[in-house]
Each structure stands twice: as structure tokens, then as C-alpha cells.
Amino acid sequence: MAILWLLGLIGVFLPILPGSTLVMVSAWVYFLISPSPYPWWIATCATAVWAIGSYLDSLAAVLSAKIMGSSNCGVVGASAGMVLGTLFYPLGLIIGPLLGAFIAELVFAKRGLFYSTKAGLGAGMGFFFSKLIQLFTVICIVVVMLLGIWGASL
């Protein structure tokens, strides 16, 4: 269980690993194999926290870029930049979405330098907020599990 927690925490910062998903799976693994498991609703609550966190994570990246005036090209460019940025970990994860949105807006959407820069900054902010949401989700799931373990042991 602790190994899944650690891998989940690493997955928050390394997009190759599904961070919060690993932590949520640990809730079910503990429930299913523990000799004194917590109630089923604890694992269900951990799953609900995971689902809400995953939705907000996806929403943060897109909304941030859109709020800063990005077109669909910018959103696709930010996504491509994030994927390519994993090749240049860790700095590429930050710069990739910014450059991806900027280049996509400038080249494909034919927008000016000001709007392309603004879209790139929006994508960068979205990536930052996305990571915060993932970290908060992982912490919440672990806290729910620890409270369940503590309550089951009483």
C-alpha cells in the first residue's frame, strides 16, 4: 500500500505514472486484502475523491488556457507540448505546454505575438494548477484511507 502511495506521489510530478489513480487503487487493494479492512464506504469515498480530482485536473488545464484567450489550436499545442516536454524532464514539463500553446497559436491559429504569448502563459498556469489539484487529490485520498484505517482499528 505504501509503495502505491509513493508511486502515486511520484506520478503527480511524472506524467508517465497515473498518480492519483495508483493511490485510489491502493484504497481498494487494502480493502480487499487486509485482515481487518475499513468499511467499504471508505474505499468508495476514496474513489469519489479520485473522480472529482481527475475531472478538476482536466478542467484546469483547458479552462486556464481558454480564460487567457487561447483557441482550440492553443489547447492542442499545449497538450502536444506537455507530451514532448516529458522527454526533457523536469524543465520540459513546465516549458513544453507554454511553448506548445505559443507556437500553435502563432503558426496554426495565425494570431499575433501578444495573443500567442498570453495563450502560452495560460497553458503554463493550467499545468501548474493541474499539478496542485493532483497533489491535493492524492493527499485527500491518503487522509481518507488513514482515517478509515484508524477508525477500523478502534
Tens-place pLDDT, residues 24-34: 999 999 888 88
- The pLDDT tens digits for 108-150 are 988 899 989 988 888 888 888 888 999 999 999 999 999 988 8
What predicted TM-score, i.e. pTM, was given to this entire model?
0.76
Instruction: Tell me how crowded residue 13 is: count the other CB atoms within 10 A of its CB.
Output: 14
Running DSSP on this structure, what letter comes out for residue 108? I
| Torsion of Cα atoms, 130 then 136 then 138 then 141, to 10° | -140
Domains of the chain: total: 1
Q: Which of 137, 141, 138, 133 is nearest to 64 (CA)?
A: 133
- Domain that includes residue 115, residue range: 2-153
CB atoms near residue 115 (< 10 Å):
18
